[in-house]
Amino acid sequence: MSDKIPMTREGYLKLTDDLARMKRVDRQKATHDVAEARGHGDISENAEYDAAKERQAFVEGRIREVERRLAHAQIIDTDKLPDDRVVFGSRVRLSEINTGDEVAYRLVGEDEADVKAGLISVTSPLGQALIGRELNDTVEVRTPGGLREYEILEIGLNR
């Protein structure tokens, strides 16, 4: 993995907010749950204590991972990127060749990806196939359901 992790400004701010919530809320709740479970008696046979400790370890691990990702974040300013080809941050409208179905996506970093919200990672198969392509280009993408072909109908940036 590269040292730098590309993300949009919005993605960076969301991850920063998530980290603050984890430190302020999730960490406090996990600590409280461990203390409460410890108060129930012998911890050597206390399943509630074991579960609370596991949850606490998960929260701490997630905090470390998000801190690492933020430390390596490379915020891409989409205002300075070209809009004549697909690049990180581009919004694209595609037509599936076989069905004519249209879809629209924005290419974002891995932490921001949410297909239901129309955000796909640049490292996804479709994201990789689209990078560098131009209007009216056709791209082929191998998916679990088979090979799919898309035509790029529109390229734009979030300006």
Residue 2: pLDDT over 60:
no
User: In whole angstroms, what is the distance from residue 84 CA to residue 82 CA?
Assistant: 6
The backbone torsions φ and ψ at residue 45, rounded to the nearest 5 degrees and listed phi first, read -125, 35
3-class state of residue 100 by DSSP: coil
Selected from 3.30.470.20, 3.40.50.2300, 3.30.70.360, 1.10.287.180, the CATH number assigned to the domain covering 5-75 reads: 1.10.287.180
How far, CA to CA in Å, does 136 sit from each of 97, 125, 153? 12, 19, 6
Query: Considering the entire predicted model, what is its pTM?
Result: 0.76
Topology of domain 80-157 in CATH is Chitinase A; domain 3 (3.10.50)
The string of pLDDT tens digits covering residues 20-71 is 999 999 999 999 999 998 887 777 777 888 899 999 999 999 999 999 999 9
Residue indicated by tokens 């131009």: 134
**CA 149 to CA 153: how far, in whole Å?**
13
